[in-house]
Amino acid sequence: MSRQTADSAVVIGLEVHLQLNTATKIFCGCPTRFGAPPNSQVCPVCLGFPGVLPVLNRQVLRYGIRVALGLNCSIQPKIVFHRKNYFYPDLPKAFQISQYDLPLGSSGFVDLENKKVRINRVHMEEDAGKLIHKEGEPASLVDYNRCGIPLLEIVSEPDLCSPEEAYAYLKTLKGILQYLEVSDCDMEKGSLRCDANVSLRPQPDVLGAKVEIKNLNSFKAVARSLSYEIRRQGEILEEGGRVVQETRLWDDVKGVTQGMRSKEFAHDYRYFPEPDLVPFSVSTEEVEAVRAALPELPAQRARRFMAAYGLPPADARQLTAEKATADYFEQCVKALPAPVENKRGKVFANWIVSDISREINERGLENIQALGFPPSSLIELIGLVESGAISGKMAKEVFIESLASKKSPAAVVAAKGMSQVTDRQAIREAALAVIQEQPKAAEDFRNGKAQALMFMVGQLMKKTKGAASPAISQEILKELLGGENS
């Protein structure tokens, strides 16, 4: 039987809503442009006027199949829409057209580094309008531009056991969705949204009460809110209490979840088949056509990078997790004269997964494109190192300076008068000084300890503030020291 550990006691499932980037809404011809003036992209259909008929946008179905297949789901041959009834002013019809027992896709999975997370279902539905609550006034303002924008709801099985795993799942899922090019996946614009379900097993074989967390505006918020909820529920159980099944809102500023005391959210949706939309049949041919047109997905691309450039699995994974990063890498290596040897491929990969990724994270940027350091700049920078114009250490400085000044690496080197010291006389002088300062290391090297040389090269680099060419430094030190290793 499973051991009761803090980890195995936690059960997390995630619901992701993805806005599709179709030109028009799911059931009417209104445009879906983001940021349009309030209530300027509405019509009798999406405003729910009486007597109107919704008609399905064919592209929504195609995109839906594409996503479902990308997540390894099987496709429902007969598709039916249902009305999900609930009363809230963001839905002018007082029901949402969604899918119930015959979702578009089911039984899929997403592979994480150490785990397979099962996908319960992928279904199509319409988005709701946007409410603006007026502070201190018992009124809300409504903009229905978003109402009727096509959504896919992607529901995971409760296979996740920690906030970190939930975070990793979302990152991986977002990566796949970006590759599928059906959405801009921008959480800030709300085109990718997430709700979390979390429960703690009071005993190994007993399911705990499920708490749903809403109002999660970033993947970090998902992880933080889950950590908070796990702690909160754990404390209740420890004190012998019972967790209440409810929906709670995440407050990102206070870092807490808070219960919603609203009967309006009582889950009694009274689903019934949408009479205004006749059923849809999806033929095997149609599914296979969409499957054949699927792009290369992150896992496949990582395998290709490993084979083509000899990248280690971890680097290949990191490089391909986001489409923009993988495209960047490929733009770099494609610009190099063929064939690109493994070693050169690795140099570019290293820069991207270390220095460049660090800057993206530290600046909280959306992706590599937002950094303002195009592939041509990285090629130029690495070229400067390879030609011996600057040292690897200087390159890191040039990179930071290039980001700050928005100048190309070559321009930075020229402007700062940076260049690697390749002047043999200057290096020889520094080397002599190092030998004098480090008699023990010099002695060790003469006695056959090869590592002593690397230490002395390091000292020499320090002396020249990283400007000396390591290759020439090594050569001159060896020459000066003579000894058995020369």
Q: Which residues bind Zn ion (CB under 5 A)?
A: 28, 30, 43, 45-46
Count of residues engaged in binding another protein, rule: CB under 8 A:
57
24 binds another protein (CB under 8 A): yes
The span of 140-148, 194-202, 372-380, 399-407 binding another protein (CB under 8 A) equals: 140-148
Long-range contacts of 317-323 (CB under 8 A, 24+ apart): 317/113, 318/353, 318/357, 319/349, 319/352, 319/353, 320/175, 321/171, 321/172, 321/175, 322/174, 322/175, 322/178, 322/367, 322/368, 323/175, 323/178, 323/179, 323/298
**CA–CA dist 219, 87 (Å, integer):** 29
| Partner touching 279 among Zn ion, another protein, none, CB below 5 to 8 Å by kind | another protein
Q: Which of residues 36-65 bind another protein (CB under 8 A)?
A: 37-44, 47, 55-61
Q: Write out the two tokens for 216.
A: 């999660």
Tell me whether residue 28 or residue 104 sits nearer to Zn ion (CB atom).
28
Which of 52, 161, 256, 260 binds another protein (CB under 8 A)? It is: 260
Question: Considering the complex, what minimum distance in angstroms separates the CB of residue 30 from Zn ion?
Answer: 3
Which candidate, 156, 68, 169, places its Cα nearest to that of 115?
A: 169
Angle made by CA atoms 168, 172, 173, in degrees to the nearest 5 = 115
Tell me whether residue 80 or residue 236 sits nearer to another protein (CB atom).
80
3-class DSSP state for residue 195?
strand
| Partner touching 39 among Zn ion, another protein, none, CB below 5 to 8 Å by kind | another protein
Which of 77, 89, 255, 482 binds another protein (CB under 8 A)? It is: 89
Which candidate, 38, 265, 16, places its Cα nearest to that of 131?
A: 38
| Partner touching 432 among another protein, Zn ion, none, CB below 5 to 8 Å by kind | none
Q: Hey, what amino acid is at 327?
A: D
Tell me whether residue 26 or residue 467 sits nearer to another protein (CB atom).
26
**CA–CA dist 109, 116 (Å, integer):** 7
Q: Which residue has the tokens 């491929």?
A: 345
Letter string b/e over residues 362-387, b meaning 16 or more CB atoms within 10 A of that residue's CB: eeeebebeebebebebbbbbbebbee
77 binds another protein (CB under 8 A): no
293 binds another protein (CB under 8 A): no
Rg (CA), the chain: 29
Question: Considering the complex, what minimum distance in angstroms separates the CB of residue 50 from Zn ion?
Answer: 15
Question: Considering the complex, what minimum distance in angstroms separates the CB of residue 327 from Zn ion?
Answer: 35
Which of 3, 254, 263, 267 binds another protein (CB under 8 A)? It is: 263
What spatial distance separates the first Cα and last Cα of the chain, rounded to whole Å? 63
| Partner touching 22 among another protein, Zn ion, none, CB below 5 to 8 Å by kind | another protein
For another protein, the binding residues (CB under 8 A) are: 22-24, 28-31, 37-44, 47, 55-61, 80, 85, 87-89, 131-134, 137-144, 249, 258-264, 268, 270, 273, 275, 277-281
